[in-house]
Amino acid sequence: MSRFPHEISIGLYFSSPELASDPQNHCVPLLDVLKIPDAEGLQLLVMPLLRDFNLPSFTTVGEAVSLFKQIFEVRFVHFGYQ
């Protein structure tokens, strides 16, 4: 039994064209789900390569403000799509 049985369906939901195009959706897109041969019940989630939030460093106050705006939009995930 999987420790996270809903992870794939949630990832696919937030990666759907409708939700992926929403500017408040800051979820990492799920590009593909690969089944691992000879490993029943195991799957590999393919996501784009990400980097640390502060590399490169902020060059303007607006960039820092944008980061915090996105952090406070987490209600998108935790309180449902509206």
> What pLDDT digit, counting tens, does each position of 11-63 carry?
999 999 999 999 888 889 999 999 989 888 889 999 998 877 667 788 899 98
| 39-50 per-position pLDDT tens digit | 888 899 999 988
- Quick check: pTM over 0.85? no
Domain boundaries, the chain: 7-78
Non-local CB neighbours of 11 within 8 Å, separated by 6+ positions: 27, 30, 45
Rounded to whole angstroms, the Cα distance separating 51 from 63 reads 16
